[in-house]
């Protein structure tokens, strides 16, 4: 179910998404200019972190007892799940293909990977904030 009225309490997720998009665009620009490189070791670490987050999220979903409607926590969980799935998918894609260092497609994929990875971090911070405040 969509949750559109959180009484102004879901601004944390919106700020996190905007910050993640900015980080993704900056990473793509740095990648296209060959300022940063992405090694397979980095991709494996990002993949491992995302899979670890997914395992913790699934365990928390199984062990969680419903306490009512908490719209802001649901939005943070949705953003966290989107970040996890996007990070896993893009890290597997980047591990499976090799691309030229100055490839535009490579820069876009790296930018998207870092967008989703930073979304994991910001959504986790929002989820912790909403869990502590509620």
**Backbone phi and psi for residue 8, each to the nearest 5 degrees, phi listed first:** 75, 15
Query: Is the separation of the CB atoms in 76 and 127 below 8 Å?
Result: yes
DSSP 66: P
Q: What is the pLDDT of residues 102-117, one digit of tens each?
A: 678 888 988 999 999 9
Q: What is the pLDDT of residues 24-67, one digit of tens each?
A: 999 999 988 878 888 888 889 999 999 998 888 887 776 666 66
Query: Is the separation of the CB atoms in 113 and 90 below 8 Å?
Result: yes
Global pTM reads 0.82
Q: Report DSSP letters for 73-110, one per residue.
A: HHHHHHHHHHHHHHHHHHHHHHHH----TT-HHHHHHH
């Amino acid at each position: 179910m969509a949750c559109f009225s959180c009484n102004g309490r879901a601004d944390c997720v919106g700020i996190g998404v905007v910050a993640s998009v900015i980080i993704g665009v900056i990473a793509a620009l740095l990648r296209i200019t060959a300022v940063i490189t992405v090694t397979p070791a980095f991709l494996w670490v990002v993949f491992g972190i995302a899979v670890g987050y997914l395992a913790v999220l699934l365990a928390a979903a199984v062990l969680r007892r419903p306490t009512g409607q908490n719209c802001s926590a649901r939005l943070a969980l949705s953003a966290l799940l989107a970040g996890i799935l996007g990070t896993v998918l893009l890290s597997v894609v980047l591990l499976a293909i090799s691309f030229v260092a100055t490839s535009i497609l490579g820069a876009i994929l790296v930018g998207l990977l870092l967008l989703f990875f930073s979304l994991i971090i910001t959504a986790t911070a929002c989820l912790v904030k909403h869990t502590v405040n509620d």
